[in-house]
Amino acid sequence: MDAPTPLPTLIRKKRDGERLEDAEIRSFVRGVTEGTAQQGQIGAMLMAIRLRGMDASETLALTQAMATSGRTLAWPPAWHGLVVDKHSTGGVGDKVSLALAPALAACGCKVRGTRGWGGDGGWPRAPVPTCAPPQVPMISGRGLGHTGGTLDKLEAIPGFCVSQSPEEMQHILARVGCCIVGQSAELVPADRVLYGLRDVTATVDSLPLITASILSKKAAERLSALVLDVKFGGAALYPTQESARELARSLVEVGAHLGIRTAALLTRMDQPLGRAVGNALEVLEALECLEGGGPPDLRHLVTALGGVLLWQCGMAAGAEQGRERLARALDDGSALGTFEAMLGAQGVPPDTARGLCAGTPAQRRQLLGEAKVCEELPAPQEGWVQQVRALPLAQVLHRLGAGRSRAGDPVNPRVGAELLVGTGQHLRAGEPWLRVHHEGTLSAEGRRELQDALCLGPEPPRDPPPLVAETIVPSGALPGPCRDSQ
């Protein structure tokens, strides 16, 4: 074990813009994990990193030290090269994981790719036969602020248990092929400490800290492949495509050095994804997607992310072929069947799981429960829908109980909203455009804020830009960023 370096020395070194050695970074993370570092010292180091930055090798060393600060997961040899996951930087109406995990598990029980990276740094271009399906152990998070959390959505389903031990995860994966769980207390304990302090020290937006936080958990999962949904726009962490691209490149390159085949999609987050926002409503919309329907933008993003993952682990010759394979899993019922099996494996009573996956929309709503009030808002004037802004919509719903301001706060899964219109649609004055589900607490001010989210114009809008703006892969995996067309 490395000899500990006095923490004030490390803080001073980074404060003055010097590079930290790998052993010094390990010493800092060990102090965080073992509790020998004081909160003030940790906060000072976080601020020094935020202001002075870290180079690629420092970021890699920080990620590796955090990943090994606790337990790491182990998988059967037969799963080698086939353990995959997806991570999103957070958005409004983002229920992609609920459909993507079972769709991936339903794909590819007949092929797998060659192992390791190609000689040119690229991924395998041709699959070879195997009997092992991809395994999808998604370790997800809860919503904080205006962005929703996958775990909160799943806990809208009666009985669903997000707390699973590593042994239970492996058992579920062996039976079903996918699971969606919360982070174990044993996994990456250093990240829990640093994550909790980044918010109160104004260091949330530090590129190396974000990279290490995301990828340390993925490295501890022992993933084979990872796809990242890095969002930008008015309701995203990063407002511009350029700033999102910087994060994506950091994540992809560090992921590659960790031995994880990593790709990132830059996706727009100005409008809600799909038509539903709010935990229970998003479960209902995810079920529509799993049946082969649902909003086109949701299906497009599910298949785009999944297509890249299937390509990464060698189960498709390219991303487009992977996308087609994901679409077939959604259309033929296999993804929905896998979702039902995952619900049962994670504690949902069989009758509830069956009712959600085979019931009518009314039966599904009854199983999830409904808010006391279902209120439709009228268009204030005539015009063409230019867009519906995601941020004010999410902020109002957050105050109504759909989100939380602090970790541990309760959420009301029944609070949410349904968009009744889409971009390019013509509205008459007084025509309903939004259905709000709440507990009778929507104020006049809240209604005004919601009305301000609707952007109308006198003429039809121009064709919107593609949802997926860019695909980032490691150097050598492709000749350049893949532009996506929706």
CB 97 within 8 A of CB 137: no
* 27 catalytically annotated: no
Q: Quick one: 405 exposed, middle or buried, by C-beta within 10 A (0-12, 13-18, 19+)?
A: exposed
Which 8-state DSSP code applies to residue 121? Answer: S
Structure tokens at 451: 């009305």
* 213 catalytically annotated: yes
Structure tokens at 60: 């890699």
Structure tokens at 310: 């299937």
Q: Return the H-helix or E-strand segment holding 85.
A: strand 84-88
CB 230 within 8 A of CB 265: yes
Catalytic residue of the set 213, 216, 250, 352: 213
* 372 catalytically annotated: no
Catalytic residue of the set 14, 26, 50, 87: 87
The residue count of the chain comes to 486
CB 245 within 8 A of CB 207: no
* 198 catalytically annotated: yes
* H runs (alpha helix) in 314-382: 319-331, 334-345, 350-358, 361-368
* 86 catalytically annotated: yes
Catalytic residue of the set 95, 142, 153, 198: 198
Catalytic residue of the set 69, 97, 147, 150: 150
Catalytic residue of the set 26, 50, 112, 218: 218
Catalytic residue of the set 85, 191, 229, 270: 85
* 437 catalytically annotated: no
> CA-to-CA distance for 215 and 203, rounded, in angstroms?
17
Catalytic residue of the set 217, 261, 299, 437: 217
* 300 catalytically annotated: no
> CA-to-CA distance for 297 and 463, rounded, in angstroms?
14
Catalytic residue of the set 5, 59, 63, 88: 88
**Distances from the Cα of 201 to the Cα of 18, 127, 205, angstroms:** 21, 47, 11
> CA-to-CA distance for 334 and 107, rounded, in angstroms?
8
Catalytic residue of the set 26, 86, 261, 398: 86
Active-site residue list = 85-88, 150, 198, 213, 217-218
